[in-house]
Chains A and B, each alone.
Chain A
Amino acid sequence: MKARMKFTKTGSMRFIGHLDVMRYFQKAFRRAGIRVSYSKGFSPHQIMSFASPLGLGLSSEGEYLDLSLEEEISKEEFLKRVNEQMNEEILVTDFLFLLEESKSSMAVLAACDYLIFMKPEWGKEQEQGLLAQDSFLADFEKRKAVLQEFLKKERIEILKKTKRSEKQMDIREYIYQLLPAENGMGKLQEDLKKEGYEPVLFMQLTSGSVINIKPELVLEALFAEAGEEYHSAAFQIHRLEMYGDRNMKKGEVHTLKSNPACELVSLAEYGKWKEKTHVSYVGENLEREPHAAGYYDCGQCSVLGKEQDKKGI
């Protein structure tokens, strides 16, 4: 049975690469006695995949891992058993079963939210801190003004570096939101503040396999706009959430300006199999899973949505 979980990654776990996080979960599931499905063959491995690998050094409260389970298990039970095996810097915060038809979170990923913090050693309190200097980040109004100017631009050119080449790219369309950080953005914001992290910016950016905009690129462009030097070491990038796009088509990117425009749904909802929330007939699938046959939440994935539309439910 396809399933998905959401988790946080903070503190020293920021320095564990995504392949190692995968191994960490594999071992944790075994300790927790969660019956994950295995691939066949002489060296079977657990079937699982990440929505989007988090770069080394970044923190997150919105990571997603898709997995396949051999047993039905309630969300409460799953969270309890897995979190007993976690250290305090990786915690599972949500769990859901997926419609069997749904694509992997990696395939449907369309956008991510990020909260940007100043690190404690660069913050207000510190002599060398960026915020203490004349930076546009130091003052709420100034910050807002720079952001407004920035977002008014028709084009935002950046130099995108890949392993093989460098190329100019206009990223304006892929910045869905860019705002001063506010209280209430992110559940871990208060905890991070206590450690001396100062929230400064919020951004929502296009993500996924076709176009993937890293928050560092936007920061760099923003500092260039403000005519200030960008110190990557000064910022803690914290991922808040990941989204799928209800209007997504394979190989295409729908932005806010596309027709149809993207319709973002958190990966914690996208493709979710909800029992008895909404009855919708989806043909042959009725027989497939006797325990909850036919009880799907409609409109969660494009294929299903269209099927349903046709049948006029």
Chain B
Amino acid sequence: MRKLALSDEILLRVEKPARYIGGEINMVKKDPKEVEIRFCMCFPDVYEIGMSHLGIQILYDMFNLREDTYCERVYSPWMDLDRIMREERIPLFALESQDPVKSFDFLGITLQYEMCYTNILQILDLSGIPLKASERTPEDPFVIGGGPCTYNPEPIADFFDIFYIGEGETVYGDLLDAYKAWKKTGGTRNGFLKQAAKIPGCYVPQFYEVRYHEDGTLSEFFPVVEEAPERVFKQVQRDMSETYYPEKPLVPYIKVTQDRVVLEIQRGCIRGCRFCQAGMLYRPVRPRSLSFLKPRATAMIEATGHEEITLSSLSSSDYLELDKLVYWLIDEFQERGVNISLPSLRIDAFALDVMSKVQDVRKSSLTFAPEAGSQRMRNVINKGLSEEEILKGAMDAFLGGWNRVKLYFMLGLPGETDEDIEAIAVLSDKIAREYYTIPKEERHGKVNIVTSTSIFVPKPFTPFQWAPMVSREYAEEKREFLLGKVKAQLNGKSIKYNCHDADVSELEGVFARGDRKLCNVILQAYKEGCMYDAWGEFFLYDVWKKAFAENGIDMDFYLKRERREDELFPWDFIDIGVTKKFLLREYQRSKEAVVTPNCREGCSGCGAAAFQCGVCVGPEREKEER
């Protein structure tokens, strides 16, 4: 029998014990005594969320290809087990071997969203690892952060030994090799960190010092040891068809959020929406070839037994051979009872044809993300989508038999006016009106529109990194305003309006563009009970407010200021290829509501061409690579 870290009695007391037993299909089994490096990969959220993440599956597979390394996994214990582990002093353990995390060489934590920051501290705390990197001893693992939030790691800089900035496929091998070499020489903890700091993309926060102006903004940010570079360069996997991809992904026992095969068709996006951080971070767009994707799709379906396959990318419609791929998937898998799901598709004739083949038109709804209601505002955010296109897409869908539409918008975009907000209601109504131009006998009942708004949060490395964020009072007021406008529409009764929580957005806004001063706030909030902040039911707004107040930190400093053009940002030491100059130019163009062409229409000189790959080396080359 497999050894389990938790007793039967505890497993029967907690919700969904399968979260903690490991042993999933395709789990890698190695003898921990036979390896030189034990790496524990963590997604700091509940199992069902963490197991749905493609990035971990890629790295898990890649690490375990190394004979000298055993990569295992850990996720945040849910609140019920968290309490029991604290009461009974049970150390946090990895799922594979069920051994304590503290006994590992590395703890790698993926940082997918700001609201998981307190969960990082939960993981460290339950593992018995000192929360601050500066307090760790030779017995503790090296704690590494990776993922999108490392593009501004400063609010959590105190808790990590190393941040890995860039795509995981690139320099992890170098880091592990350096670790092995260091271990043989028996050097100090600092000694390894100095070696790590020399590896491109690796940022060791304790080797940098920050100085501030009197107004609280940064005056200087500089390395204090010679091994640490002044600028840290994002690492890019240049050829997406010559790289790692798991052929035997893990298959969980319990139903997880993403319970299907995920095929990443391309990385990056050509669009350049000004609010979108991923669109800038992952430039340039790099497609994977059909000859790379097809055999992997087949292998993964066969190795998992999943009933569904989904395509992953920031904008699937921009994958040039999408039609070929999708029709191949339908031919290959539909007969075998495998569903094909297609997120992030622009609604056009192709999309409707495919969707009518792969889903039940009556039961499914179509999703549009105009992001803003008025054309002016869509130009401000550089969302290349006209009202005409939206209405035509909706009409085509209605004629195809759909009558349910979901619409996504943002509130609080820079320079937003009441007219822009009202335009959300008007556009929703126009879509409903389109439906009712169809003769009654050809319609399928009533139209059903769900309009959702989230609060815009300005993010680092976007043109809006200089922009102020709206207050929660504003968000609440405008939500009421929009609700009134929706109700006042002709088809108001056919439109349901949902809005994202403003309190959480505010905190996300602070952390997104925060600095090192926030480390103590996060630490205090955690110590006073904050955890699972992304889960509405556990979000303790008052505790957070108190933590800010007691540390003398003004949230408005991070939220409400429009930053000076020459302000030194906490994340400026990171080089993502896209230049600050380009971002500033885009910010200025947004103020004039001028649209910038996408990467295929013409190069705007963002700086990502430095990577010499993907769309930057030209469409001809892109074709050749395919």
Contact = CB atoms under 8 A, between A and B. Distances in A.
Does A associate with B in a complex?
yes
Interface of A: 10-17, 20, 23-24, 26-31, 38, 41-44, 56-57, 85, 87, 89, 119, 121, 195, 233, 236
Nearest to B13: A233
Contact of B23 (A12, A41, A233): A12
Given A29-B305, A87-B25, A20 B360 contact: no
B179 to A, nearest CB: 31
Contacts of B337: 30, 38, 44
Nearest to B251: A27
Contacts of A11: 1-2
Contacts of A87: 23, 25
Contact of A15 (B18, B336, B359, B363): B18
Interface stretch (B3-11, B69-77, B108-116, B226-234): B3-11
Contacts of B600: none
A89 B23 contact: yes
A30 B363 contact: no
B11 A15 contact: yes
Interface in B1-37: 1-2, 4, 7-9, 11-12, 17-18, 21-23, 25
A43 B303 contact: no
The 3 A-B residue pairs whose C-beta atoms are closest, nearest first, are A27-B305, A30-B305, A42-B360
Given A27-B251, A121-B7, A89 B25 contact: no
20 contacts: A12-B2, A12-B22, A12-B23, A16-B253, A17-B18, A20-B253, A24-B253, A26-B305, A26-B307, A27-B25, A27-B251, A27-B307, A30-B307, A31-B305, A42-B359, A43-B339, A43-B360, A85-B25, A195-B1, A236-B8
A57 B12 contact: yes
Contact of B1 (A12, A26, A28): A12
Contacts of B360: 41-43
Contacts of A119: 8
B410 to A, nearest CB: 33
Contact of A31 (B9, B12, B303): B303
Contacts of A30: 305-307, 336-337
A109 B554 CA distance: 67
A15 B5 CA distance: 13
B255 interface: yes
B224 interface: no
A43 B7 CA distance: 39
Nearest to A27: B305
B30 to A, nearest CB: 16
A16 B18 contact: yes
B254 interface: yes
B302 interface: yes
A42 B363 contact: yes
Contacts of B336: 30
Nearest to A24: B253
A12 B9 CA distance: 13
A233 B363 contact: no
A57 B9 CA distance: 9
Contacts of B254: 16-17, 20
Contacts of B302: 31
Contacts of A41: 360
B304 interface: yes
B1 A10 contact: yes
Nearest to B12: A57
Contacts of A44: 337
Nearest to B254: A20
Contacts of B23: 12-13, 87, 89
Nearest to B306: A27
Contacts of B307: 26-27, 30
B1 A233 contact: no
Interface string B324-347: 000000000000110100000000
Contacts of B18: 15-17, 20
Nearest to B304: A27
Q: For B1, B12, B251, B359, which residue has the most chain A Cβ atoms within 10 angstroms?
A: B1
A121 B8 CA distance: 10
Contacts of B22: 12
Given A28-B25, A56-B12, 6 more contacts: A11-B2, A20-B255, A43-B339, A85-B25, A85-B305, A233-B12
B253 A89 contact: no
B400 to A, nearest CB: 15
A119 B9 CA distance: 11
A12 B302 CA distance: 25
Contacts of A29: 305
Interface in B293-329: 302-307
B252 to A, nearest CB: 9
A41 B337 CA distance: 11
Q: For A11, A15, A57, which residue has the most chain B Cβ atoms within 10 angstroms?
A: A15
A87 B8 CA distance: 19
Interface in B328-386: 336-337, 339, 359-360, 363
B247 to A, nearest CB: 13
A174 B370 CA distance: 65
Contacts of B359: 42
Contacts of B255: 20, 23
A206 to B, nearest CB: 25
A48 B336 CA distance: 17
Contacts of A89: 1-2, 23
B463 to A, nearest CB: 42
Interface string B535-551: 00000000000000000
A15 B11 CA distance: 7
Contacts of A17: 18, 254
Contacts of B8: 14, 57, 119, 233, 236
A195 B4 CA distance: 13
Nearest to A23: B255
A26 B1 CA distance: 24
B102 to A, nearest CB: 22
A21 B360 CA distance: 27
A81 to B, nearest CB: 12
A15 B17 contact: yes
Nearest to B4: A12
B1 to A, nearest CB: 4
A43 B359 CA distance: 8
Contacts of B251: 27
B501 to A, nearest CB: 31
A218 to B, nearest CB: 19
Contacts of B12: 15, 56-57, 233
Contacts of B303: 31
Contacts of A24: 25, 253
B17 A56 contact: yes
B421 to A, nearest CB: 38
Contacts of B17: 15, 56
Contacts of B7: 121
A28 B254 CA distance: 14
B178 to A, nearest CB: 36
Nearest to B20: A15
Q: For A30, A41, A85, A233, which residue has the most chain B Cβ atoms within 10 angstroms?
A: A30
Nearest to A233: B9
Contacts of A12: 1-2, 4, 21-23
A23 to B, nearest CB: 7
A13 B302 CA distance: 23
Nearest to A195: B1
Nearest to A36: B337
Nearest to B362: A42
Contacts of A85: 25, 305
Contacts of B306: 27, 30
Contacts of B25: 24, 27-28, 85, 87
Contacts of A233: 8-9, 12
A56 B12 CA distance: 7
Nearest to B308: A43
Nearest to A42: B360
Q: For B23, B302, B306, which residue has the most chain A Cβ atoms within 10 angstroms?
A: B23
A13 B12 CA distance: 12
